[in-house]
């Protein structure tokens, strides 16, 4: 009888120890970021015997427009309000479309629109839920955050005078 009591106590104590050591179920492991960006390009038919000059317009960080080479003496277009409280909704889009329209009016032809997107990383955060009421069986909340970079470039061309 003493052996069965000791065996029962050993089983109960090992079960309680195992329950205390149980780890919360974490979120599924994250997939590694893709090493290569996803790029889409609009193809253009070749033209023989015509020489062109090119103008690149690029939206950088969703608040600044870059010109390469300089266009009308400008290499950058930025909203006036960005330093104080950020750009107003649609302000950068208006600057970009205004520049594209002005380039077209100056005789530049839209040659290519290139868009690329790349996943930079992901982070997981697991916390004890605020609504967890049982300290022996806490509830957990998980959150996954992804960061990515996307970029759109516009390439224009204009035939050179012979």
> Does residue 140 sit within a domain?
no
> Does residue 8 sit within a domain?
no
Give me the pLDDT at residue 135, please. 80
Give me the pLDDT at residue 26, please. 52
Domain count, the chain: 1
> Does residue 133 sit within a domain?
no
Residues 6+ apart with CB under 8 A from 154: 56, 57, 58, 100, 110, 112, 113
> Does residue 125 sit within a domain?
no
CA–CA distance, 20 with 23 (Å, rounded to integer): 8
CA–CA distance, 4 with 2 (Å, rounded to integer): 6
Q: Which domain holds residue 160?
A: 52-118+152-162
Cβ contacts of 83-92, under 8 Å, gap ≥ 24: 87/63, 92/59, 92/62, 92/63, 92/64, 92/65
Phi first, then psi, for residue 123 (nearest 5°) are: -135, 140
Give me the pLDDT at residue 31, please. 58
> Does residue 38 sit within a domain?
no
Give me the pLDDT at residue 99, please. 93
> Does residue 74 sit within a domain?
yes
Tokens of 52: 């062109």
Give me the pLDDT at residue 80, please. 76
Give me the pLDDT at residue 132, please. 74
- pTM for the model stands at 0.59
pLDDT tens across the length of the chain (162 residues): 445 444 444 444 544 444 444 445 555 565 555 566 667 776 767 677 888 899 999 988 777 889 999 988 889 988 876 555 666 777 888 899 999 999 999 999 998 888 888 888 888 888 888 777 788 888 888 888 888 877 889 999 998 876
> Does residue 145 sit within a domain?
no
Tokens of 70: 């300089």
> Does residue 10 sit within a domain?
no
């Amino acid at each position: 009888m003493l052996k069965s009591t000791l065996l029962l106590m050993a089983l109960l104590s090992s079960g309680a120890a195992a329950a205390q050591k149980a780890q919360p179920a974490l979120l599924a492991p994250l997939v590694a970021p893709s090493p290569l960006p996803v790029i889409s390009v609009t193809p253009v038919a070749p033209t023989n015997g015509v020489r062109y000059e090119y103008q690149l317009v690029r939206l950088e960080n969703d608040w600044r427009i870059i010109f390469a080479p300089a266009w009308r003496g400008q290499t950058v277009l930025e909203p006036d309000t960005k330093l104080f409280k950020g750009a107003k909704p649609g302000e950068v889009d208006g600057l970009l479309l205004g520049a594209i329209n002005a380039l077209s009016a100056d005789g530049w032809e839209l040659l290519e629109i290139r868009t690329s997107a790349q996943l930079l990383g992901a982070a997981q955060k697991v916390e004890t839920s605020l609504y967890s009421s049982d300290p022996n069986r806490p509830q957990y909340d998980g959150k996954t955050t992804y960061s990515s970079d996307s970029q759109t470039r516009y390439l224009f061309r204009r035939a050179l005078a012979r």
